[in-house]
Homo-oligomer: A and B are copies of this chain.
Amino acid sequence: MSNAETADMPDDGAPKTPDRLRRRASRLLSQLSTRSDRLITEGLAQADARKWHYAALASLQEYGPASQAALSRRTGIFSSDMVGVLNELVERDLVERGPDPDDRRRNIITISAQGRLHLLRLDKVLDGLHDELLAPLSPAERDQFVELLNRLLDHHTRSS
C-alpha cells in the first residue's frame, strides 16, 4: 500500500511511463526497434533503397556471387521475399541474375559495378543515420552496445 499513488487526482499532468515498463528490456527493445526501423527506412528511401537491398548487396560484395537460397540464409531474408528484393535490384542494374549452368535449379546472383558503387553510397547514408540513431551514446558506449546486441543475437540464433 506504499508504492501506488492513490491520491484524489486520477489523471494527467505528466503522463509518464510506468517504472515497470522502463525496466523491461523486451519493451525497450521493441519500442526502440520501431523507431530505428522508421528512421532507417525513411533514410534509405531517399536513396531509392530499402534495408534489404543493403543486406543483399553487402552479402554479395563480401562473399561473392551466390544463389538466392544462399543469400537468404546469410541475410535472414526469407526466400519468398528475396524474389521481390532481387527483382528490384535487377531492375536498377545493381545485380545480375543468371542461371547456374552446373545446377539448373539455381540462379547465380552477381553484383554489378553499379551495385558496388551503390553499396558505397548506402554505407555513407547508413553511417549518417546511425549517427543519428546512436546520438546520445559516446563512441565507447556505441561499441559496447553493438557488442551486447551481437552477443544476445548470437545466443538466440544458435538455439533456434
CB-based contact A58/B6 at 8 Å: no
- This chain: copies in complex: 2
How many residues on the A side are at the interface (Cβ–Cβ under 8 A)? Answer: 75
The docked-state distance in angstroms from the alpha carbon of A63 to that of B12 is 10
A90: interface (CB < 8 Å): no
CB-based contact A64/B5 at 8 Å: yes
CB-based contact A35/B153 at 8 Å: yes
A104: interface (CB < 8 Å): no
Chain B nearest CB from A144 CB (Å) reads: 7
Bitwise, A26-64 to B at CB < 8 A (1) or not (0) is 111111110111011000000000010011001101111
Chain B nearest CB from A71 CB (Å) reads: 9
Chain B nearest CB from A151 CB (Å) reads: 5
Chain B nearest CB from A79 CB (Å) reads: 13
CB-based contact B61/A25 at 8 Å: no
- Knowing A26-B133, A149-B32, A153-B35 touch, does A66 contact B142 (C-beta < 8 A)? no
Bitwise, A118-130 to B at CB < 8 A (1) or not (0) is 0000010010011
